[in-house]
Amino acid sequence: MSGILIFAETDDGTILPNFWEQVSAARQVADPLGGGLRVAVQGSQIKDASDALKSGAEQVYVTNDARLGEPWSEAHLETFTALCRELQPELIILPRTLLGMEIAARLAQRLDAGLAQDVMTMQLAEGKLTVTRPVFGGAASATLRLTRPPWIIVPRTGAFAPAEPLSTPKGELVARQANLVDDALKTRRISRTRQTSKINLERARVIISGGRGLGGPEPFQLLHEIAERMGAVVGASRPPCDSGWVDSGMQVGLTGKTVSPEVYIAVGISGATQHMTGCSSSRVIVAINQDPDAPIFRMATYGVVGDWKQVLPGFCEALA
Report, in Å, the least distance between residue 267 CB and ligand FAD.
Answer: 7
Number of residues that bind ligand FAD (CB under 6 A): 27
Segment lying near ligand FAD (by CB under 6 A), choices 146-154, 165-173, 191-199, 236-244: 236-244
CB of 314 to ligand FAD, least distance (A): 14
Smallest gap from Cβ 294 to ligand FAD, in A, equals 4
Residues counted in the chain:
320
Which of residues 237, 258, 260, 282 is near ligand FAD by CB under 6 A?
237
**Closest distance of CB 298 from ligand FAD, Å:** 12
Greatest pairwise CA separation for the chain in angstroms? 62
CA 23 to centroid of chain Cα atoms = 14
φ, ψ for residue 198 (rounded to 5)?
-110, 30
- Which residues between 276 and 315 bind ligand FAD (CB under 6 A)? 278, 288-291, 294, 307-309
Which of 30, 52, 238, 286 is close enough to bind ligand FAD by CB under 6 A? Answer: 238
211 binds ligand FAD (CB under 6 A): yes
- Of 25 and 269, nearer to ligand FAD (C-beta) is 269
Specify the stretch interacting with ligand FAD by CB under 6 A; choose among 8-16, 26-34, 184-192, 250-258: 250-258
By CB under 6 A, name the one of 212, 230, 248, 316 that touches ligand FAD: 212
Q: Is 12 in the site for ligand FAD (CB under 6 A)?
A: no
Tell me which of 138, 213, 235, 303 binds ligand FAD, using CB under 6 A. 213
- Written as one letter, the residue type at 10 is T
Considering only CA atoms, which of 286, 250, 283 is closest in space to residue 268?
286
Q: Do 268 and 214 touch, CB atoms closer than 8 A? A: yes
DSSP per-residue codes, 83-150: HHHHH--SEEE--SSHHHHHHHHHHHHHHT-EEEEEE-EEEEETTEEEEEEEEGGGTEEEEEEE-SSP
d(C-alpha 76, C-alpha 45), whole Å: 15
Residue 41 or 214 having the CB closest to ligand FAD: 214
Helices and strands of the chain, counted as H and E runs = 8, 16
> How far from chain centre, in Å, is Cα 264?
17
Rg value, the chain, Cα: 21
Tell me the closest approach of the beta carbon of residue 280 to ligand FAD, in angstroms: 12
Shortest reach from residue 309's CB to ligand FAD, in Å: 6
* 285 and 137 Cβ atoms separated by less than 8 Å: no
Among 10, 22, 270, 282, the residue binding ligand FAD under the rule CB under 6 A is 270
Q: Stretches 33-41, 176-184, 189-197, 247-255: which one binds ligand FAD (CB under 6 A)? A: 247-255
Rounded CA gap, 296 and 155, in Å? Answer: 25
Chain residues binding ligand FAD by CB under 6 A are 211-213, 237-239, 251-256, 268-270, 272, 274-275, 278, 288-291, 294, 307-309
